[in-house]
Amino acid sequence: MATDLPPFLAACRGQAVPYTPVWFMRQAGRSLPEYRARRGPGSILDAVRDPALAAELTLQPVRRYGVDAAVLFSDIVVPVIDFGVDVAPGTGPVVEKPFRDAKDLDRLRPVPAPFVEEALRLVTAELSHLPEPVPVIGFAGGPFTLASYLVEGGPSQGFAKAKALMWSEPDLWAELMQRLAEITLASLRAQVAAGADAVQIFESWGGALSPADYRRYVWPALHHVVSGLEPQQVPRIVFGVGAGELLADFARAGADVVGVDWRVPLDEARRRVGPGVGVQGNLDPTACFAPWPVLAEQARAVLAVAGRRGHIFNLGHGVLPATDPDQLARLVELVHTETARSRDDASA
């Protein structure tokens, strides 16, 4: 029965909720002392490849914050690790031999990631023992975001190399997009099979393109990924940073929920995505550095324009490493308490 869904999944479906659900992008991470205690130095990929550790890191923020969803501890480059991608601490993804020409397509194939599936099984087993079930979110990178890492090969300024390839060799670019869409879809399907209750596609850097370029060169691949997952199976969230002009395109690709950064007020975001699509967000992550009364005021301002139904509270981007976990804990409590109090407005 629809009303039996956990609040996070109910909100993804646009159903009434007892309170607005909340989770945080990058809630499992360096902001948590228990994370730093377990992770140690080295690439994030070492931790991702260790299912027991990845499961533990996934569960830490659920225990600490009482968030309404877990998000698998992993990385968007995992499905393309075999391309020679590593994640350098403090730098981000680096690629030994960046994508340059058609030969490089041969290095891009869907490969199983049994450690991801095993971590998901451990997480869902643990979460099913909780008094209230907590869903777990699987994820993948959006096609432009993944391609930008493969082509740039390291930190980039304005994604100049990726865009140059896109414009100079549109056929090769289209093949790259198609290949990444297939790899991403295979990864998401495997995650769903292993227990993911929802998926988020991080098209984090898609907003670096003009809307016309995004629609022409990337959107077909995004559409392939999102519409390749059956909506009745799991809700699909699509998120980007600085992607205010792409929100309608994310919805049109089949997203059930569109993740919004803090630049676009959620009432305006709702106008852009249209009816029947949820919104997720969108507190400025740096607001967590403000004194609590300011942070509370900012959170209330998000709730005030979000509307109740079909809203999942989140930050507008990932938790910053220097964030005080106590601020996030109070934020969860505020969102739960204040939206439960106004339950009579739930149809708003």
Question: Would you please indicate which residues are annotated as catalytic (active-site) residues?
Answer: 26, 30, 39, 75, 149
Least separation in angstroms between residue 82's CB and a copy of itself is 29
Q: Which of 13, 49, 64, 163 binds a copy of itself (CB under 8 A)?
A: 163
Tokens in use for 221?
């691949």
Tokens in use for 168?
């100079």
**Measured between alpha carbons, how far is residue 8 from residues 78, 128, 189, 197, 245 in Å?**
25, 15, 20, 10, 26
Least separation in angstroms between residue 132's CB and a copy of itself is 32
Q: Which of 257, 255, 246 lies closest to 218 in space, CA to CA?
A: 246
Strand ranges for 61-215 from DSSP E: 70-71, 85-88, 92-95, 136-141, 198-202
Q: Which stretch binds a copy of itself (CB under 8 A): 28-36, 86-94, 125-133, 209-217?
A: 209-217
Q: How many residues does the chain have?
A: 348
Q: Which of 98, 195, 207, 254 binds a copy of itself (CB under 8 A)?
A: 207
Q: Which of 183, 199, 275 lies closest to 231 in space, CA to CA?
A: 199
**Measured between alpha carbons, how far is residue 135 from residues 18, 71, 126, 128 in Å?**
16, 9, 11, 9
Least separation in angstroms between residue 240's CB and a copy of itself is 11
Q: Which stretch binds a copy of itself (CB under 8 A): 40-48, 90-98, 153-161, 172-180?
A: 153-161
- Check residue 158 for interaction with a copy of itself (CB under 8 A): yes
Q: Which of 268, 307, 338, 346 binds a copy of itself (CB under 8 A)?
A: 268
Tokens in use for 88?
């350098």
Distance CA 265, CA 197 (A): 27
Q: Which stretch binds a copy of itself (CB under 8 A): 41-49, 136-144, 154-162, 217-225?
A: 154-162
Eight-state DSSP code of residue 313? E
Distance CA 12, CA 104 (A): 38
Listed in sequence order, the residues at least 6 apart from 90 whose beta carbon sits closer than 8 Å to its beta carbon are none
Q: Which of 132, 212, 275, 347 binds a copy of itself (CB under 8 A)?
A: 212
Least separation in angstroms between residue 50's CB and a copy of itself is 28
End-to-end CA distance of the chain: 22
- Check residue 174 for interaction with a copy of itself (CB under 8 A): no
Q: Which stretch binds a copy of itself (CB under 8 A): 27-35, 114-122, 139-147, 242-250?
A: 242-250
- Check residue 260 for interaction with a copy of itself (CB under 8 A): no
Q: Which of 6, 259, 265, 310 binds a copy of itself (CB under 8 A)?
A: 265
Contacts with a copy of itself, residue ranges (CB under 8 A) = 157-160, 163-164, 167-168, 207, 209-213, 242, 244-245, 262-265, 268, 284-287, 289-291, 294, 298, 301, 320, 322
